[in-house]
Amino acid sequence: MKNETQNNKKLDQLEAHSTSNENKKLTTNQGIKINNNQDSLKSGERGPTLLEDFILREKITHFDHERIPERIVHARGSGAHGIFKLNKSLRAYTKAKFLSEVGLETPVFVRFSTVAGSKGSTDLARDVRGFAIKFYTEEGNYDLVANNMPVFFIQDAIKFPDLVHAVKPEPDNEIPQAASAHDTFWDFISLMPESMHMIMWLMSDRAIPRSLRMMEGFGVHSFKFINEEGKAHFVKFHFKPKLGVHSVAWDEAQRISGVDPDFHKRDLWEAIENGAYPEWDFGVQLIPEENEHQFDFDLLDPTKLVPEEEVPVEIIGTLTLNKNPDNFFAETEQVAFHPGHLVPGIDFSNDPLLQGRLFSYTDTQLSRLGSPNFHEIPINRSINTVHNNQRDGHMRQQIAKGKVSYEPNSIGGGCPFQAMMSEGGFTSHQERVSGEKVRKRSQSFVDHYSQAKLFYNSQSVPEQTHLQNALVFELSKVTIPEIRERVVGQLNFIDNNLAQTVAEKLGVTVKKLDQPNQSIPADANIADLQSEEKEPKTKISQALSMKDTVKDTIKSRKIGFIISNGADGAALTDLKTKLENKGAKAEIIAPSLAPVITIDNKPLIPKHSLTSTASVCFDALYIGAGEKSAAELMAPENRHLTLRFINEAYKHCKAIYFGSGTEELYMSSNIAMKKHEDPAVIISKDGGSDEQFITAIAGHRVWDLEMERNM
């Protein structure tokens, strides 16, 4: 085990459940050594198989039952182990120990996911990403079941099945997979004004991250911190990636889905294997309970965020992922999260979406994992020992000794005892609650557009353009014109220019909507969902744009070196060393996988051939120096493939570096037509340097030049 994973009590616990087949004999599940695993038991060499072949029966039976139901949402996931280290105590706000003792390291398991697609779908679907964290604290498991977007589609849990049914493949033909671009989703959205803020996020580039390591995480709901004195603060949770928040282009995302549907999974796995451990700052927004009503929205409304300009995010610790799972099924698939897994010092708010989630997560594990004993699956076990009178059920692992399985008891000496608060016993926050029993939405939730405006107005011009294009793409797949029109009508409540731009490309007109359009019976006892025409208090929030994200590191970026025989090996090695010293990875791409012989006669082994990968799998390209190499890349059999690499990378706004002697390649590419300054096209002959290339890679993409690059 690597150093970074030592002193991790959860990994030690898992180790006790791990097995290795090294130097072992093959056995049945009953431990009987197997002599022949090639042939079943037959009556004569060519005769029928015998029922008594218990070895065959056991093997096939087990195989027949190897699958469990995939998650109804968030089916496709990638997991990793890590550590949360507290750098700043929150003792004044919460009695949770893992948030109080500075320097304390808490083991975690994190599972990232897409939402709509099946387990076998693609990573680069336009979608929300799950960001679920299980903190194995000394006081028991705490789960923060978060997303990479800070708001949600709906305000009340009762709408969740409708939302999910609408976005999942349509029930008659099971089309489309892992996509929201279809009639039923947009039909639902067009009738749900409360979704419009989330739709802005979903149509933004946040929905197509470059990497799981380059996305933010948000707890979404307001939760509560409770301190030793019983005082409550509302809290919003944030994870900010140290590498910055970066995305790919939509055209690129679609191509990645074909070239490498496991792009995010592989990226996370490789980064951890290479020791480039993903890291996030963990931060909180704290709001004293008495300030609950100081905002121009309701803190309990999950379609609203708290602008960082109004309540700054305090960074309190670091989340680091430093170990890949040993077994995908045992860990990533069987891990069971639940927003109701709390430790003392953290509590729920009355957010009606959160309240519904508290029921759903245990319930779903029962059908997914098949038993109320899912907490005994190694990945789900608390590192604090479990003692209670719950017994039996399918697949029980623990052997509870003694006669007593009830409380109070005298036979068992009264054990296990209830814990006093001073001993860490959990008590719910004593909030005063009273009210009539009503099926009703609070009037304070009836503002559906102001934060959608805030988000849209906070985007840079390229980000707004991407968002418009995403809407056009999605709505172009909608076959029912009335739905398109209704969505455009909703957009018009956010920004007239946005609505007009989208409408024009869809060939519809912007009509004023009589919203809401929710088929609500006239006598339904709910608040009028007509949203007020309201301007947000905060007009622009820098934190909502990715424009000014971290752009000073190339750590873990993947650079493709396109070369052929005759490449300048010295220049190549020099650049490779510089890049790798800064934490990037350089991989050689050549016409074939045969060794490339450099100008100084040294063999280099390519990792990829021009046909086995594509530019979309790399952050930047270096077209290796050397006239002979360039000439080979321009030979009829390679020319088209080489130029496709260059032109695509250019179109996707990436850094491209032309080594000396590659002028003809440059002139044959689309870049030769550029008529503007472009800091991310570096040409050695014109004095371009390795350092310029490194700066351009760190900048991620020249989104500002996208229009020029695609002219």
Which residues are CB-contacts of 67 (< 8 A; sequence separation ≥ 6)? none
d(CA 652, CA 620): 10
Nearer to ligand HDE, 124 or 353 (CB): 353
> Minimum distance between the CB of residue 509 and ligand HDE, rounded to whole angstroms?
35
Catalytic, 74? Answer yes
> Minimum distance between the CB of residue 75 and ligand HDE, rounded to whole angstroms?
8
Nearer to ligand HDE, 376 or 708 (CB): 376
Structural contact between residues 115 and 156, judged by C-beta atoms closer than 8 angstroms: no
Task: Find the part of the chain contacting ligand HDE (CB under 6 A) among 88-96, 314-322, 352-360, 607-615.
Answer: 352-360
> Minimum distance between the CB of residue 491 and ligand HDE, rounded to whole angstroms?
23
Which residue in 11, 319, 353, 579 binds ligand HDE (CB under 6 A)?
353
Q: Give the binding-site size for ligand HDE (rule: CB under 6 A).
A: 25
Task: Find the part of the chain contacting ligand HDE (CB under 6 A) among 67-75, 250-258, 448-456, 567-575.
Answer: 67-75
SS3 label, residue 241: strand
SS3 label, residue 572: helix
Tokens of 51: 């029922």
> Minimum distance between the CB of residue 139 and ligand HDE, rounded to whole angstroms?
22
- Length of the chain measured in residues: 711
Tokens of 75: 């089916």
Task: Work out the burial of residue 82: count CB atoms within 10 Å of its CB; fewer than 13 is exposed, 13-18 middle, 19 or more buried.
Answer: buried
d(CA 479, CA 461): 29
Nearer to ligand HDE, 84 or 703 (CB): 84
Which residues inside 306-345 make contact with ligand HDE, applying CB under 6 A?
336-337
d(CA 437, CA 110): 38
Closest residue to ligand HDE: CB criterion: 130
Which amino acid, one-letter code, is at 464?
A: Q
182: contact with ligand HDE by CB under 6 A: no
d(CA 254, CA 242): 26
Structural contact between residues 2 and 78, judged by C-beta atoms closer than 8 angstroms: no
Which residue in 74, 484, 608, 700 binds ligand HDE (CB under 6 A)?
74
Which residue in 124, 132, 590, 604 binds ligand HDE (CB under 6 A)?
132
CA–chain centroid gap for 531, Å, is 31
d(CA 711, CA 681): 16
List of E strands, 550-672? 558-562, 585-590, 596-597, 603-604, 608-609, 620-623, 655-658
Nearer to ligand HDE, 12 or 376 (CB): 376
Q: What is the DSSP letter of 611?
A: T
Q: Which residue has the tokens 């609408």?
A: 166
Catalytic one of 8, 81, 141, 147: 147
Which residues inside 640-699 make contact with ligand HDE, applying CB under 6 A?
none
x/- map, 560-579, ligand HDE, by CB under 6 A: --------------------
> Minimum distance between the CB of residue 299 and ligand HDE, rounded to whole angstroms?
15
Task: Find the part of the chain contacting ligand HDE (CB under 6 A) among 152-160, 304-312, 442-450, 655-663.
Answer: 152-160
Structural contact between residues 446 and 688, judged by C-beta atoms closer than 8 angstroms: no
Q: What is the DSSP letter of 276?
A: -
Which residues inside 404-433 make contact with ligand HDE, applying CB under 6 A?
none
360: contact with ligand HDE by CB under 6 A: yes
| Helices (H) then strands (E): counts for the chain | 18, 18
Which residue in 26, 34, 68, 72 binds ligand HDE (CB under 6 A)?
72
357: contact with ligand HDE by CB under 6 A: yes
d(CA 370, CA 252): 39
Rounded alpha-carbon distances, angstroms, from residue 623 to 563, 629, 684: 6, 9, 10
68: contact with ligand HDE by CB under 6 A: no
Catalytic one of 8, 74, 341, 380: 74
- Nearest one of 17, 9, 75 to 330, comparing CA atoms: 17
x/- map, 277-306, ligand HDE, by CB under 6 A: -------------------------x----
> Minimum distance between the CB of residue 444 and ligand HDE, rounded to whole angstroms?
19
Task: Find the part of the chain contacting ligand HDE (CB under 6 A) among 21-29, 169-177, 353-361, 388-396.
Answer: 353-361
109: contact with ligand HDE by CB under 6 A: no
Tokens of 458: 């906070």
Which residues inside 363-382 make contact with ligand HDE, applying CB under 6 A?
364
Which amino acid, one-letter code, is at 691?
A: E
> Minimum distance between the CB of residue 156 and ligand HDE, rounded to whole angstroms?
8
Which residue in 82, 107, 117, 130 binds ligand HDE (CB under 6 A)?
130
151-175 b/e (C-beta count within 10 Å ≥ 16 → b): bbbbbbbebbeebeebbbbeeeeee
SS3 label, residue 321: strand
Which residues inside 208-227 make contact with ligand HDE, applying CB under 6 A?
220
73: contact with ligand HDE by CB under 6 A: yes
Which residue in 55, 86, 116, 157 binds ligand HDE (CB under 6 A)?
157
Q: Which residue has the tokens 């096939």?
A: 60
Which residue in 71, 233, 652, 701 binds ligand HDE (CB under 6 A)?
71
Alpha helices in 312-388 (DSSP H): 352-369
77: contact with ligand HDE by CB under 6 A: yes
Catalytic, 466? Answer no
Q: Using CB under 6 A, list all residues that contact ligand HDE.
A: 71-74, 77, 111, 113, 130, 132, 145-147, 152, 157, 160, 220, 302, 336-337, 353, 356-357, 360-361, 364
Catalytically active residues, by annotation: 74, 147
